Structure 1
């Protein structure tokens, strides 16, 4: 191929130079003619000059050479791409083949059984082999190659109505992959992590750790040298911005620059990690992933109070809460045995969704929206997967089904909420269910009142006991008394005798 490319290179250069020279010559002739016309007729410089037949011929020739040049470029690029595809070594399914199949084939021949055409799956190797679509080691016997190379539009894949068309290099890669055995791989996201040995590098004095060796290997591959070591001013600025989100003060920079002790860097890092700003800086991407906001969204977009959950996230970073506990408390903190107030607050992660407060909505409709949001957010944040597609159908590219979506949705569908926000509430408050939290400014007052209430309760208990004892004594005394009944005769107020009727 090298012998072919060199003449093509010479031809391209000659064509390019000829086209450029002819276009420049024509431009000069036209400009000269235009200037002469302007001087003799007084026309505006913007008026197009009248070209002679000779000028038109030269311009046409120049454009023809330019078109030829562009066609040669396209031809040369095709040869180069073909050579690149043919010269590739062992193809990697996830890197070289899966993107082609995913973009062009899986929509009709993938995991979604509802839209699957011809009962053919190309995302599963055994199914593709059983259907005859691929014959490992024999591309010419594979129906896949037959369909992508045919000139018959009624048989060619992808079909014309799909609006997709494979490039030549994609066809060559699929063919070569089949010849190499048509090996499949799990999606890289589902492949277990395996230890990787850091690469060997020529410049052994620069790397200070295993990660540096990966960087150094890539630099050597690209013919680059490492950047000079950062100055102490730059270093403390980078550290402070990364860990707290704000630049260091002048005093902090001067103190670090003048500190020549071997632990100067560690001291700065410890100070930054102990700063409350560290938790705020680390919490920013998590708040974004959790869709945190200070208002409900939709058309009303009224304020809501979720700052307690936001503060919980910040404090979790500042106290270095282990990630497994960080996860448990946010997904199911309120379901833990004897859950603390902090753990119940953590479960507010799943109340960060938008909330509709319009009075005319159908509550059941938005209850479904809220639970779907929880499924999609949980999958995106903790699984790194997009479940949105499986809400309506089996995923067309990933191994998730619609049943998976609604199985997970059922877990989040037991929140006792109304679906309409706080519409109709007599006071401005969060949509139920919610937790009432004491305001920090009156916590000490509440504690004092609690102590007084306990003292009064103790006194009341003593009085109740005394009263109970006195009552018991009275009852006992009355029970032991002898009752004597005396017959009373009637008498008149004036003392006269009265007779019984």
Structure 2
């Protein structure tokens, strides 16, 4: 018997078996991106651009108009149109959008498997799951470990070996203070005989003033912080005062609700302290274009537009800028919502 040839044939047979049973498409991962890129402009939530009164972003409407017949791709108008070879083809040629063969098969398989929709994860109410039971109980030190281990055991994987101390201190130091440990700090941790040496290291790093500096970086990015006003003059904005407040607040572990209120409206609080007023300088993180002079009222509106966009991105995780001119095409935000929020500023 020719063993190499036999093995190759068996492997090909196994691979063919897997290919014959494709995985059920996940709506958010596999289907929504295709529909969003190619279909929602004409068949989405915006009534001003909607064609044939069809919404493919809404399952009830899509089913009512027979665009999608769950489990029956042959009876679904969506499937018929994307595979059409005449003027019925969707997306139409004039849209300059074309589905690949793989994308067409994904949509067809999705319809055949029931055409289940999913709300975007960002708009689903978080649900606290039960802590899973695990087989290798000694490995898990906390509930987070148990979630990780449960998935590993489900996939029949083994956990990676525990990192050595030199690796641990480097990871912790870079994660918590943004700096690599000094050689002396590494030596001290390696020689620490205490059973809670790891926990003590974490506490020391959390108590470091560099912790607030490290934690401030993503918030500074979200707030669109800069040391200057930008554009051609690029003058000093003195926003470093707010930046330093931010570092102090993070090092003091200010509760997030208080942290948010003081940045959005600290100056409006009863008997506001200088620190609370300074926190509100979050609202001064915007550009200033003085080229050729600046009209005060125009600049005021430019700043408010900037604040609406930045505040929504920072706290809501939404891109509201589109709704300045029209109802948002994808996020659940209308133009009325936009200007209602701008009125707060």
Where on the TM-score scale, by shorter chain, does this alignment land: which range? 0.7 to 0.9
> Is 2:189 the counterpart of 1:256?
yes
Please name the residue that 2:26 is paired with: 92
Structure 1's 312 and 359: CA in aligned 2 closer, same or farther, altered over 3 A?
same
Q: Report Cα offsets for 1:294-318 as digits up to 9, x if no partner.
A: 1000111111211221111111111
Match of residue 322, structure 1, among 233, 246, 255: 255
Following superposition, the deviation at residue 327 of structure 1 comes to 0.7
> Is 2:160 the counterpart of 1:160?
no
Following superposition, the deviation at residue 337 of structure 1 comes to 1.6
- Name the SS of the counterpart of 1:353 in structure 2: coil
Structure 1's 388 and 220: CA in aligned 2 closer, same or farther, altered over 3 A?
same
Match of residue 334, structure 1, among 267, 273, 283: 267
1:89-488 map, 5 Å: 89=24, 91-152=25-86, 154-198=87-131, 203-217=136-150, 219=152, 225-412=158-345
Structure 1's 331 and 239: CA in aligned 2 closer, same or farther, altered over 3 A?
same
5+ residue gaps, structure 1:
1-5, 14-78, 413-501
Structure 1's 241 and 337: CA in aligned 2 closer, same or farther, altered over 3 A?
same
- Name the SS of the counterpart of 2:139 in structure 1: coil
Following superposition, the deviation at residue 159 of structure 1 comes to 0.9
Following superposition, the deviation at residue 221 of structure 1 comes to 6.5
Following superposition, the deviation at residue 130 of structure 1 comes to 3.2
Contact kept in structure 2, 1:112 and 1:393, CA below 8 Å: no
Following superposition, the deviation at residue 200 of structure 1 comes to 5.3
Higher-Rg member (1/2): 1
Following superposition, the deviation at residue 223 of structure 1 comes to 6.7
What is the count of residue pairs matched by the alignment? 336
Structure 1's 158 and 200: CA in aligned 2 closer, same or farther, altered over 3 A?
farther
Structure 1's 103 and 211: CA in aligned 2 closer, same or farther, altered over 3 A?
same
The 2-side partners of 1:191 and 1:356 are apart by 40
The 2-side partners of 1:132 and 1:364 are apart by 52
The 2-side partners of 1:190 and 1:174 are apart by 23
5+ residue gaps, structure 2:
none
Structure 1's 364 and 109: CA in aligned 2 closer, same or farther, altered over 3 A?
farther
The 2-side partners of 1:239 and 1:269 are apart by 7
Structure 1's 313 and 150: CA in aligned 2 closer, same or farther, altered over 3 A?
same
The 1-side partners of 2:339 and 2:313 are apart by 16
RMSD value, Cα: 2.8
The 2-side partners of 1:86 and 1:259 are apart by 55
